Structure formats: C-alpha cells, structure tokens
Amino acid sequence: MEVIFVLIAVSLVLAGSFLFLFFRAVKSGQFEDDQTPAIRMLFENEIKTNEKKVPSTKSK
C-alpha cells in the first residue's frame, strides 16, 4: 500500500515539473512563430555543397 503513495507522489512531482517547463517555454516565446518553419523550405533555393572548385590543368 505504501508503494502506491510513493508512485502517486512521484507522478505528481513529474507532472508538475512538466507543467512548469511548458509554461516557462510559452513565456519565453518558443511557440510564437508557427508559420515560418512550414514555409522555410520554399525559400531555400541554393543547394549547399562542400565541393571545392579545382582549376583545370589541361595544356593547350
């Protein structure tokens, strides 16, 4: 019977900490911009590569 009281206490502490972290994230403005991530891929036109251009060594 004591185990159920411990589990209830642990679950309440865990739920309270998640609720606190959620309100802190909302207050800091983490969820304000919900449109930009959905359309960001439409504005990325350039493909970034790590290839280096090597000058041509062909002799004429």
Q: What is the largest CA-CA distance in the chain?
A: 91
Instruction: Give percent of the chain above pLDDT 90.
Output: 45
Residue 7 pLDDT class (50, 70, 90 cuts): very high
- What pLDDT, on the 0 to 100 scale, is given for residue 46? 63
| Local structure of residue 51 (DSSP, 8 states) | P
Residue 39 pLDDT class (50, 70, 90 cuts): confident
- What pLDDT, on the 0 to 100 scale, is given for residue 15? 98
Tokens of 51: 């290839």
- What pLDDT, on the 0 to 100 scale, is given for residue 55? 65
- What pLDDT, on the 0 to 100 scale, is given for residue 48? 63
Q: What are phi and psi of 30, to 5 degrees?
A: -70, -25
- What pLDDT, on the 0 to 100 scale, is given for residue 44? 67
